[in-house]
Amino acid sequence: MNTLGKLFKITSFGESHGTIIGVVIDGCPPLLTIDQSFIQAQLNRRKPGQSNISTSRNEDDEFEILSGVFEQKSTGAPITIIIKNKDTRPEDYSKLKDIYRPSHADFTYQKKYGIRDYRGGGRSSARITAGWVAAGAIAKLFLAHFEIDITAYVKQVHQIAINKAYLSLNLQNIETNSVRCPDPETALLMQKAILEAKQEGDSLGGIAACIIKNCPIGLGEPLFDKLNAKLAQAVLSINAVKGIQFGEGFNSVLFKGSELNDAFIRKQNGETGTQSNYSGGIQGGISNGEIIYFETAFKPTATISKLQKTVDIEGNEHNLEASGRHDPCVLPRAVPIIEAMAALVLADCILLQKAYTL
């Protein structure tokens, strides 16, 4: 399946070293002002070659809108966005044509479809997430009408983590460093660790956090389209993601019910809210008006330069020392992808909520 969403839907297309990648957005409400400079800014945050801790692939990721926008306004028709692949080097992967790279989708794609695009992983490459970010940018423009703000950042790289509560962080610092960590001192340690892993031909994983502010009460469709379930589906679709948790997540098992329950109070504005936010802004699969907070775990990049044992499609053993261009740590470039996927889910949920409420 290459389509996400029910009313605000996206369909993704393209391959890592194909001619183009892109996305079709169906269900975007008409008369939305499409700020193309904002879309490009979001793509720039995701594009390769940003720093010495990212892949050296040189793509400007300039996009083109083919349909659905007239005089800077959405028309209600499908919005088609394409991004040309310019710095393709399929020859870098020719020796991998019949070899399975450890922890990649090579083996599973070959067994499932009987064919695979070995050029940088083809359809399974994180390259295609550029289209998701472009679509997410349009979703963000829609969400701005509801003053919903989505901010992701890198919380942990390998064993180096921010040890401060997320509410105490200065999120303005996120874009001031190449790691996209809001704590400057921790960011320096993370950058050093990533560079060391890169020099060793290795890679690192970590955790990205996401904060969603001003989300209205009532988003989410129980039972099988709960808000946390829809966010999880979207975020788990991102390459290298191995887990997601909301609020206290797995730490919840360390509490007693009397300690973990979010007590209801009347706030200063007269509205009902919760005194704490252990649930991460979602209760019963529905947003409760508090900050939505979730964390996403990313495994270390599968492509590394260290010698690894593998087999080819005939079962013959090989020693593989990968070459080509890859990120020693995917987290810094994953930040805008997480934001985009969250924005797409929330845009869909708002339209669903409006579809049957007075």
Residues 6+ apart with CB under 8 A from 227: 219, 220, 282, 285, 286, 287, 292, 345, 349
Structural domain spans, the chain: 3-356
CA angle 217, 346, 341 (to 5 degrees): 145
Cα diameter, the chain: 70
* Long-range contact pairs involving 270-279 (C-beta distance under 8 Å, separation at least 24): 277/247, 278/247, 278/248, 278/252, 279/246, 279/247, 279/248
Which pLDDT score, from 0 to 100, does residue 324 have?
64
For the whole model, what pTM was predicted?
0.97
Each residue's pLDDT, cut to its tens digit, for the chain (358 residues) gives 999 999 999 999 999 999 999 999 999 999 999 999 999 999 999 998 888 888 777 789 999 999 999 999 999 999 999 999 998 777 778 888 999 999 999 999 999 999 999 998 999 999 999 999 999 999 999 999 999 999 999 999 999 999 999 999 999 999 999 999 999 999 999 999 999 999 999 999 999 999 999 999 999 999 999 999 999 999 999 999 999 999 999 999 999 999 999 999 999 999 999 999 999 999 999 999 999 999 999 999 999 999 999 999 999 999 998 776 789 999 999 999 999 999 999 999 999 999 988 7
Pair of tokens at residue 297: 């775990």
Which pLDDT score, from 0 to 100, does residue 356 have?
85
99 DSSP assignment: B
Residues 6+ apart with CB under 8 A from 256: none
- The answer to whether the beta carbons of residues 78 and 25 sit under 8 Å apart is yes
Closest C-alpha to 69, from 82, 59, 78, 60:
78
Fold held by 3-356: Chorismate synthase, AroC fold (3.60.150)
Distances (CA, A) of 280 to 34, 145, 203, 276: 31, 23, 30, 9
Whole-angstrom distance, CA of residue 15 vs CA of residue 244: 26
Whole-angstrom distance, CA of residue 104 vs CA of residue 96: 12
